[in-house]
Structure 1
Amino acid sequence: MSAASPRCAGVLFDLDGTLLDSAPDLAAALAVITREQGVAMPDYARVRAVVSAGGSAVLRTAWPQAAPGQVAALLPRYLDIYAGMLAEHTRMFPGIDALLARIERAGLPWGIVTNKIEALTLPLLQRMGLAARAGVVVCGDTLAQKKPDPAPVLHACAALGIAPDATLFVGDDRRDVEAGRAAGVSTIAVGWGYSSGENPADWQPDVLVQTPAQLAQALGFSA
């Protein structure tokens, strides 16, 4: 399916690692808490690789042997630090703003389905100039379920008034593909994101793209 097809009625995106390169700020917040706790800061590459897996996964790069309870105890402080630096270094990936503009010119609604909590997502979208552009934003705490459960994807489709089988879901994590597949939407995995250190091809998305330009082509837009 492509945007040129009459069956494509809208596009959903994951946030971190798909639309936004938020790893620099998430790593900066980790640097603060590791300094507070007297723990060595891991290499940036290790942190970046797991950003799409959430705050607990980021913390575990610095505390790999920690019990789940220890990581859970650190998470509120980590998220509080991160909330204070949400958009200092976070940017849209190159080519994403232009891609969203093309989607908007084509008259296609688009939205965001993220596991990031609302208290962090909405302020970040405001600062990135995306809040007013997205037709729907489904966060990790919007529903009782989050990705890889299909419920957030289906909720976004319903909010946009589009059928799942006429929807494209774009993401950089296995959970995006699994959630999209279970929801009955077409899935596009991107190669520029974080991917949790995995090969996106292994997730068996409907389409795999390496650049926003390739994504534009997959959506049916000419070069």
Structure 2
Amino acid sequence: MARARATALLVDFDGVLRRWDPAVAAGVEREYGLSAGVLGEIAESWGLLQPVLTGRVSHAEWVSSVADALTPSVGDPERARAAVRQWQSYRGEVDPQVLAFLREVRAAGVRVGLGTNASDLLDADLAALGLTDELDVVVNSSAIGVHKPAKEYFQAACLALEAAPDRVLFVDDEDRAISGARVAGLSAYRWTGPADLRYLRAALGC
């Protein structure tokens, strides 16, 4: 039996709606004499990342912990903090094709939620990128205390969207998140790029 068409769309932020130019981090690493990729390796190490994604520490505290971990590579705490501040000052860019798609979806009467593992800086990022009024719901892991791919995260997202799990289509660029959404009963589509929008439009009837 075919699933009913989705009445709500839940879309990931980083890697789907927001893009990051890798040249920015690479430029900071070159300027400060760091090995390529070290900023991402430290910042995304689970011991530092997990607390900020669940709201146990603030974004500012996470940035400080990244600078502390980077200090041995730089040799000077002040220089490490400067490198991390410069790297973090770049807040990414909106994918215009994805944004146009979200507008189409909302115009067709489908509720749109942002489903993201993020820090308490998310609202400021959305405002800076002009996205505050582009979404019906924002489900931020640090605000609800649980992150993707946990089943509880997706349950909270469905409640926020006021939709049953089987009427929500979730789009993300990470396999673990896709698997978690399916366990929670959502339809889920693995994002690979704007070429996927044709399928998603058809799936939503837009």
Q: CA deviation at 1:27?
A: 4.8
Q: CA deviation at 1:215?
A: 2.1
Contact residue 95 and residue 213 of structure 1 kept, 8 A: no
Q: Please report the TM-score for the alignment, with normalisation by the length of structure 2.
A: 0.71
Contact residue 170 and residue 176 of structure 1 kept, 8 A: no
Contact residue 18 and residue 172 of structure 1 kept, 8 A: yes
1:32 to 18, 28, 32: 28
Per-residue CA deviation, residues 94-150 of structure 1 (Å, 9 max, x unaligned), is 42122111111111111111112131x222211222222212212231233211112
**For residues 128 and 16 of structure 1, what CA distance do their matches in structure 2 show?**
13
Which ranges of structure 1 fall in alignment gaps of 5 or more residues?
A: 58-68, 194-209
**Is residue 213 of structure 1 aligned with residue 198 of structure 2?**
yes
Q: Structure 1 pair 153/31, CA: closer, same or farther in 2 (3 Å)?
A: farther
Partner of 1:197: none
2:69 to 73, 77, 80: 73
Per-residue CA deviation, residues 16-43 of structure 1 (Å, 9 max, x unaligned), is 111121x21x65145325643x22335x
**Is residue 84 of structure 1 aligned with residue 89 of structure 2?**
yes
Computed over aligned residues only, the root mean square deviation of the Cα atoms, in angstroms, reads 3.5
Q: Please report the TM-score for the alignment, with normalisation by the length of structure 1.
A: 0.66
Per-residue CA deviation, residues 161-210 of structure 1 (Å, 9 max, x unaligned), is 111111110111112202211221000111128xxxxxxxxxxxxxxxx4
Is the deviation greater in 158-167 or in 76-85? Answer: 76-85
**For residues 184 and 29 of structure 2, what CA distance do their matches in structure 1 show?**
37
2:119 to 117, 120, 123: 117
Secondary structure class of the residue paired with 2:170: strand
Q: Structure 1 pair 170/56, CA: closer, same or farther in 2 (3 Å)?
A: same
**For residues 30 and 145 of structure 2, what CA distance do their matches in structure 1 show?**
31
Which ranges of structure 2 fall in alignment gaps of 5 or more residues?
A: 46-64, 72-79
**Is residue 146 of structure 1 aligned with residue 151 of structure 2?**
no
Partner of 2:109: 107
Partner of 2:168: 167
Give the percent of matched residue pairs that are identical in Structure 1 and Structure 2: 28
Indicate the structure (1 or 2) with the bigger Cα radius of gyration: 2
Greater helix fraction, Structure 1 or Structure 2: 2
